[in-house]
Structure 1
Amino acid sequence: MPGNAVLIGRVGALAVALGVGVAIAGTAGTAAADTTESGGGGTQTESRPERESAASGNADLGDSSPRDTELESAAADTDSAPAAGTGGGDDAAPARTSSGRLPRTLTVRTADLREPADDDDDHDDRDDHDDRDDRDDRDDRDDRDAGSDEPDPGPSPADVAALTALGAARREVGSASSGPSAASPQMTDRPTPQTVAVAAASPLGTPQQLAAEQLAQRISGSLPVQLARLFLKAGFYFAAQRQFDRVGGPDPENLRRLDAAVDAYAMGAAFQQQLLNSAEPTVVMQVAPPHTWYGQSVGASRILYDNPDTIYRFMGVNGASSYVIRGTFADVDNLPADTSFSVLTGLTGNTAAVLTKDQLVIEPDGSFTITADATPAGGRTNHLQLTADTTLIATRNTLSDWARQAPMSLEITRVGGPPNSLFSQLGGFAIPGIGPAVVRNPALTTLVSLIPPLPYVPTLLRGTVAAVIMLLGVQREETYMRVATTDPGTGERIDPNVLKDPARNAEFLATQLQSAGYFQLADDQALVITVRPGGAGYFVVPVTDDWTVTEDYWNVQTSLNNALAVADDADGTTYTLVLSPTDPGVANWVSTGGLNQGTISIRFQDLDPDAAILPSVDARLVRLEDLPAEMPPGTRWLAAGERAAQLAGRKAAYDLRFAPYPQP
């Protein structure tokens, strides 16, 4: 069957199914929506009750399926370690919360990296996929990497380069295993997950992530995305003219950065498109800086006040399914300053549930398991309840000490729910109104699940979906600009160089406090910011441009947090930082990165709910020549050469995120 006919036929069938479903949705549906889901080695069946959860709270970011084929070895000559157990080797050892302290080795998970190119002329070879309705028969891989459902034509040169680089990296840093080398990569469609001990390699560089990045590059270059860029650029520009009207709109330097901000939003949309099929979930690092590793260069996907200290990862989920999330902290003696898992709903990303750092139960070896489904926790630890309108689980690792703290390894597996379908593949569960209605009605869930997914998803179709996501971003971007430029109580525009009192903002994570504003500084001016953390265990002062995007924070000190800054007193009750375009010689300098105009969103996290003193912030505009008189006693001033050493240490610590690949 020609590929176009497959696409048209299945979309038409889905439309009919939805129409029939709407007609019967009001009746008492008795058909069971739950089906067996094969995976790993056995069949699991979940009975799904009616979903009746109400969402509450808010979220920010703003800030390859787990069932994919895996490689037991990244290269034929790479040493392989035995599969790591889930326990710490001592059955009697108690589970620990995030305050537990036991060292362990770093682990990364290996998997199939294959990512096919589109080939619209080769539909005849895919006919065997068109009639494959049995979801348990998956001997032919459909390219599940990064959520793709395209058939696998074999590794591309980029894939081979990435796998070769991964193997070479392991040889360079040495394998922690003394086991025998694998004779050849063993590929299966639903293997038991394995971990391989690797020294000094980032847990972020999973083959699923690399494949998602390859696909995102293709999507962002598609015609629909390029056309959407024009609309997005105009929307950003006019939004900035309105929001920064008190300073005459965006200045020339911010206008120069507009294209980069639009490109980053397009890349973010390309990643988000891959998350829409919640029947084939994957963990995708997004809201990330540009980086080069494993033979590929990836553009920025930073948006909406991204935090330089935070690693953002997202997983597509739906309320009709159940999931298991597994992760490991490599060094429980140096856990991230903050870690959270948030259940996000709809297209706006409101938070329905949060699992915080203090609630997360971690085993002595640093591993943890989280369950996610529509049922309440019922006494279970590490559980997230999904609502009918749930679309994503967002996770954040906030690293206050870049040199010592590392992000966790992470994977997700769907263990129950309706079979993969065209409805899920096209993001039906994420469509407002339609998705929740399908989740709440078992008969409707069964009906839309009858149409199987497409054997592959053309890049043009992916690009069209990503373009729609981009168009929604125009309004969202202005909302985030308004956080910095507008008084939330009066709705009136505020002056520059004024920081609002820390508060929970509707567009940010519910467990954070933020103090936002925007600056307008001459080269000889500075904004002296006094931060009193109160009951917050972490704060950061980052600089973003008018488009709410960070710049080069690895080579330039455009952010500073409480772990890297010098406190005014021994108890760390007050910090004084200097934000300016010109280096004032203060250790606590936050560079504007060449900006005279931009935005600030100071974050406070790891909040003590019982703290009597809440965080507070104040700012005052001074001339650089008057700065010494404005600084508190004991301020640390840098001698010649100390700034260069400070920045070199910052860059070396940043590179650990993409180890073993130093970044430009």
Structure 2
Amino acid sequence: MPLDTGDYFLSAANPLANVDQRDLERLAMRLFERPDVRAARARAEIMWRRVTDRLMPADQMALFDDHVSDYCFKCTLVAANTDANHPRILRVYSEGGQWFGHKVPGAKWGGDNPNNTYRIIPVAAGGRYELTGQRQVEPSTYVTFQLVSNSTTSATLASLEQLDMEIDEDGRYRLTLDDMPAGKRRNHLQMPAGTLYLFIRDSMGDWERQQPDALQVRRLDPPTRPPLTEDELAATAIRNILSDVFYAYYAQRLFFNGPQMMTPPEGAGSVGGLVTQQGSLGHFTLREDEAVIITANAAGATYRDIVLHDLWLRSLPNRDRQISLTNAQMAPDADGRFTYVLSMADPGVHNWLNPCGLHDVLVLHRWQGFPDPDAEAPSIESRKVALARLEEALPPAVAKVTPRQRQAQIARRQAAYDRRFAVD
């Protein structure tokens, strides 16, 4: 990482291990345990329970406490990095982990993609900002920068894809943000009134080699006030915890409004997703003796993945079980399409999706980045079959694995996942 960073980065190999991340996580954990924030958490738990406890199956209600904790810490973590006068960079919407000498709680919610690194930077119209980035030796497959206007980062005001930016031969780039139009500046975002965050997604197809960009931010004009106090940040956390329930519940219900099949691909921007993304949603109820076969095309997309979520719309535990596959992890069929099998037991198919013992799961398939305008459009199909008849129902030449190969697949997954919390 050849940025002139001084003591900012705390790891030579992991750009996410930096001073901002360490200090903001510690701040968020302090806020999370304040009596006033804990009271808001208790109110949010009541709000969630009143609209779900008679709807959710027992195995999903067993996850209720974890869901509420993830949701409330997500709200608190976002609130901790709210100061646009003194901007910092923070990874959000992540599974919990142990690093920096502390154990950070989970913050999964809203259909989080475990193959993404999500980061937020507080910015505001009227300010002038500069983001300096460094692509890694093995960079992310797909990176986007969005200006958003709410605490759920679901209301996009403007968007810029990294593939449209000017990047130096050594991987360095500079993105500017202010009130002025971009004009001929390719690396610029104009901030309209109401801008709250710059929201950055690094999508990593290959966990074993790729790393997200190394980023630093600075405000170019003088701040208009001293840093926000912890009392002010706690008030924002409380507001987020209580008000974001409504959008979070709406996002969950998107998956329930349809038959048990993958929906036709469509843009995600209208419901708070990435505006340049095509996605397909599914909700499946599985018995022990059933399987779901899902087959999709590549559509020339730069980045693709498929991810399983619980009914709270949190990605399933991702380190030790194959609950997701990216374009670098999935194996193609003989015809170039990609077939996945969702089943309670391992069917020996390379592209198996493990529901972690849950009989109801939500599925999200994404296509991102379409450099070839002549490529075929995204397509997907799904059907439920008896597990005993799976073999005859599969398309020809679906890739298989032995138990030993599955163990190796999971071992690679674990080692790659652990890089996300590495400090060395």
With the shorter chain as reference, the TM-score category is over 0.9
- 1:502 CA displacement: 0.8
Number of the residue aligned with 1:462: 233
Does the residue aligned with 2:385 lie in a helix, a strand or coil? strand
* Equivalences for residues 296-445 of structure 1 within 5 A: 296-331=102-137, 334-347=138-151, 349-416=154-221, 419-421=223-225
The separation in 2 between residues aligned to 1:233 and 1:601, in whole angstroms, is: 26
> 1:581 aligned to 326, 344, 360, which one?
344
Does the residue aligned with 2:244 lie in a helix, a strand or coil? helix
- Residue deviations 1:489-529 (CA, integer Å, cap 9, x gap): xxxxx23x211111113121111111112111012211110
Query: What is the identity, as a one-letter code, of the residue corresponding to 1:599?
Result: L
Aligned length: 421
> 1:528 aligned to 276, 286, 293, which one?
293
Counterparts in 2 of 1:551 and 1:647: CA distance versus 1, 3 Å: same
The separation in 1 between residues aligned to 2:60 and 2:6, in whole angstroms, is: 40
Is residue 649 of structure 1 aligned with residue 420 of structure 2? no
* Equivalences for residues 628-647 of structure 1 within 5 A: 628-647=391-410
The separation in 1 between residues aligned to 2:381 and 2:52, in whole angstroms, is: 25
Q: More displaced, 650-659 or 604-613?
A: 604-613
Number of the residue aligned with 1:231: 43
Is residue 288 of structure 1 aligned with residue 94 of structure 2? yes
The separation in 2 between residues aligned to 1:658 and 1:208, in whole angstroms, is: 14
Would the aligned equivalents of 1:362 and 1:368 in 2 still touch at CA under 8 Å? Answer: yes
Gaps of 5+ in 1: 1-82, 87-107, 113-165, 171-197, 242-247, 422-452, 487-493
The separation in 2 between residues aligned to 1:528 and 1:401, in whole angstroms, is: 24
The separation in 2 between residues aligned to 1:464 and 1:347, in whole angstroms, is: 13
Would the aligned equivalents of 1:310 and 1:398 in 2 still touch at CA under 8 Å? Answer: yes
The separation in 2 between residues aligned to 1:499 and 1:207, in whole angstroms, is: 42
- Residue deviations 1:576-616 (CA, integer Å, cap 9, x gap): 00012221111110111221112122111112462352111
Number of the residue aligned with 1:603: 366
- 1:317 CA displacement: 0.3
Number of the residue aligned with 2:280: 515
Would the aligned equivalents of 2:136 and 2:210 in 1 still touch at CA under 8 Å? Answer: no
TM-score by length of 2: 0.94
The separation in 2 between residues aligned to 1:84 and 1:309, in whole angstroms, is: 25
Does the residue aligned with 2:144 lie in a helix, a strand or coil? strand
Is residue 619 of structure 1 aligned with residue 382 of structure 2? yes
Would the aligned equivalents of 2:256 and 2:283 in 1 still touch at CA under 8 Å? Answer: yes
The separation in 1 between residues aligned to 2:149 and 2:86, in whole angstroms, is: 18
Counterparts in 2 of 1:472 and 1:286: CA distance versus 1, 3 Å: same
- Residue deviations 1:380-411 (CA, integer Å, cap 9, x gap): 12111100111110001100010111111111
The separation in 2 between residues aligned to 1:387 and 1:462, in whole angstroms, is: 23
- 1:239 CA displacement: 3.8
Would the aligned equivalents of 2:334 and 2:396 in 1 still touch at CA under 8 Å? Answer: no
The separation in 2 between residues aligned to 1:547 and 1:625, in whole angstroms, is: 30
Runs of 4+ residues deviating >4 angstroms: 83-86
TM-score by length of 1: 0.61
> 1:277 aligned to 56, 78, 83, which one?
83
Would the aligned equivalents of 1:240 and 1:546 in 2 still touch at CA under 8 Å? Answer: no
Number of the residue aligned with 1:95: none
- 1:464 CA displacement: 3.0
- Residue deviations 1:397-426 (CA, integer Å, cap 9, x gap): 100010111111111101026x332xxxxx
The separation in 2 between residues aligned to 1:256 and 1:517, in whole angstroms, is: 22
Identity, in percent, stands at 29
Gaps of 5+ in 2: none
Root-mean-square deviation (CA, aligned residues, Å) is 2.1
The separation in 2 between residues aligned to 1:470 and 1:548, in whole angstroms, is: 17
Counterparts in 2 of 1:580 and 1:416: CA distance versus 1, 3 Å: same
Number of the residue aligned with 1:217: 29
The separation in 1 between residues aligned to 2:219 and 2:251, in whole angstroms, is: 33
The separation in 2 between residues aligned to 1:240 and 1:357, in whole angstroms, is: 40
- 1:350 CA displacement: 1.7
The separation in 1 between residues aligned to 2:159 and 2:403, in whole angstroms, is: 46
Would the aligned equivalents of 1:503 and 1:515 in 2 still touch at CA under 8 Å? Answer: yes
The separation in 1 between residues aligned to 2:52 and 2:377, in whole angstroms, is: 32
Q: Based on CA coordinates, which of the two structures has the bigger radius of gyration?
A: 1
* Equivalences for residues 523-602 of structure 1 within 5 A: 523-569=288-334, 572=336, 574-602=337-365
> 1:498 aligned to 249, 261, 280, which one?
261
